[in-house]
Amino acid sequence: MDAGTTSDAAGVDGAQQSEAGACNQGCPGTPPAASICAVSADAQLVDTKGAPVTGEVVLLCGLNLCSAPVRSSAQGKVHFDLCLNMKSPALKYLGHATYVSFGAAMTQPVETFPPATLVALPSQGTALPSGAGSVTSGPVTLQLASGMVTFDPTQPNDPNSVEFRAAAMTPAQAPPGLDPTLGVKALWGLSPVNAKLGSPAALTVPNPDPTGWPAGTKVDFVLNGLDESPMPAVPYGGWGVIGTGTVSSDGKTITTDSGAGNGLPILGLVGVAPHK
């Protein structure tokens, strides 16, 4: 959980921001190590057809603090006046049980993000098992070694919000900042976002390229960082490899490999890429 995070509650007016209309003298206070002076940021939320999405709450968060939440306008736009020293600042969108959640790193003091596509999660979810077991959403299966799941305390905890959901995404629908050198071929948004799994879970997803990735092919699983402490570590608002996977004998699916350093430690936005 981000230190100083404000509530994501509904009813936040897009005009409500921190007191940083002008940041001419730099950000106040002593900057933490590895921080930047985040002055302002602009973003836009669109649906899969490119139409603006209104009324969705967005944050600009670092590892040390968060902005006030802002709702997207009728044009899907959000604007942040910040003037804050932030460690690893990132645009942070939490879609709960409605849309895929994501983070996009802010890399300069004044940032204009490309439009971010919101991909809908399935309307129906499936309860996570109370012990070891599997849960499926569409073609995606999560095999838990134990029933120990720690849900993000900043998120709703009603039965609907803590059910497992998975939505497929194309690389073109990825949030701003997906590193093209990773070569990601497909993505899946998993919810409830930031639900930490007591032991890394096995994740099985469809093979997006059966011809290029035949049976037995080794691939990398990557994760978009929306939590400050997943293990293995993933850059906050960025992307990191969380282990390898192998294409099934029939070439139809890919499952995370077993053993140390593999498996899914936390639910979020995951993708598959060529093994490096």
**Per-residue pLDDT tens for 221-233?**
999 999 877 666 7
Q: Does 67 reside within a domain?
A: yes
Average pLDDT, stretch 36-58?
Answer: 97
Looking at the structure, do residues 63 and 182 belong to the same domain, yes or no? no
Beta bridge partners of 42: 79, 112
Average pLDDT, stretch 55-80?
Answer: 97
Tell me if 166 sits within 8 A of 134, measured CB to CB. no
Q: How far is CA 90 from CA 11, 12, 112, 161, 170, in A?
A: 22, 19, 12, 24, 22
Q: Does 5 reside within a domain?
A: no
pTM greater than 0.75: yes
Q: Does 257 reside within a domain?
A: yes
| Burial classification of residue 158, based on how many CB atoms lie within 10 Å of its CB (0-12 exposed, 13-18 middle, 19 or more buried) | exposed
What confidence score (pLDDT) does residue 156 get?
A: 83
**185: confidence class by pLDDT, cuts 50, 70, 90:** very high
Q: Does 138 reside within a domain?
A: yes
Looking at the structure, do residues 108 and 154 belong to the same domain, yes or no? no
> Locate tokens 């995370």: which residue?
256
Average pLDDT, stretch 23-40?
Answer: 91
Is 80 exceeded by the pLDDT of residue 5? Answer: no
Q: Higher confidence at residue 147 or residue 225?
A: 225
Among the residue ranges 15-29, 130-144, 236-250, the one predicted with the least confidence is 15-29
User: Rounded to whole angstroms, how far apart are CA atoms 23 and 26?
Assistant: 5
Looking at the structure, do residues 250 and 165 belong to the same domain, yes or no? yes
Looking at the structure, do residues 97 and 230 belong to the same domain, yes or no? no
Looking at the structure, do residues 103 and 150 belong to the same domain, yes or no? no
Looking at the structure, do residues 211 and 248 belong to the same domain, yes or no? yes
Is 60 exceeded by the pLDDT of residue 12? Answer: no
Given 58, 83, 117, which residue is the final one in a domain? 117
What's the mean per-residue pLDDT of the chain?
90
Is 50 exceeded by the pLDDT of residue 126? Answer: yes
Q: Higher confidence at residue 142 or residue 23?
A: 142
Given 74, 92, 117, which residue is the final one in a domain? 117
- Give the count of domains, the chain: 2
Q: Does 65 reside within a domain?
A: yes
Across the beta sheet with 102-105, the strand order is 70-71, 57-61, 90-93, 102-105
Tell me if 88 sits within 8 A of 71, measured CB to CB. no
Looking at the structure, do residues 258 and 142 belong to the same domain, yes or no? yes
Looking at the structure, do residues 184 and 225 belong to the same domain, yes or no? yes
Looking at the structure, do residues 112 and 150 belong to the same domain, yes or no? no
The SS3 assignment for 73 reads coil
**13: confidence class by pLDDT, cuts 50, 70, 90:** very low
Q: Amino acid letter at 17?
A: Q
Looking at the structure, do residues 245 and 182 belong to the same domain, yes or no? yes
Q: What is the CATH number of the domain that holds 106?
A: 2.60.40.10
What confidence score (pLDDT) does residue 207 get?
A: 98
Q: Does 21 reside within a domain?
A: no
Q: Does 30 reside within a domain?
A: no
Residues in Cβ contact with 99 at an 8 Å cutoff, skipping those fewer than 6 apart: 56, 93, 118, 119, 120, 121, 189
**Range of 88's domain?**
35-117
Given 117, 142, 174, which residue is the final one in a domain? 117
Q: What is the CATH number of the domain that holds 249?
A: 2.60.220
Looking at the structure, do residues 44 and 81 belong to the same domain, yes or no? yes
Q: Does 88 reside within a domain?
A: yes
Is 70 exceeded by the pLDDT of residue 82? Answer: yes
Average pLDDT, stretch 209-218?
Answer: 97
Average pLDDT, stretch 23-47?
Answer: 93
Looking at the structure, do residues 211 and 241 belong to the same domain, yes or no? yes
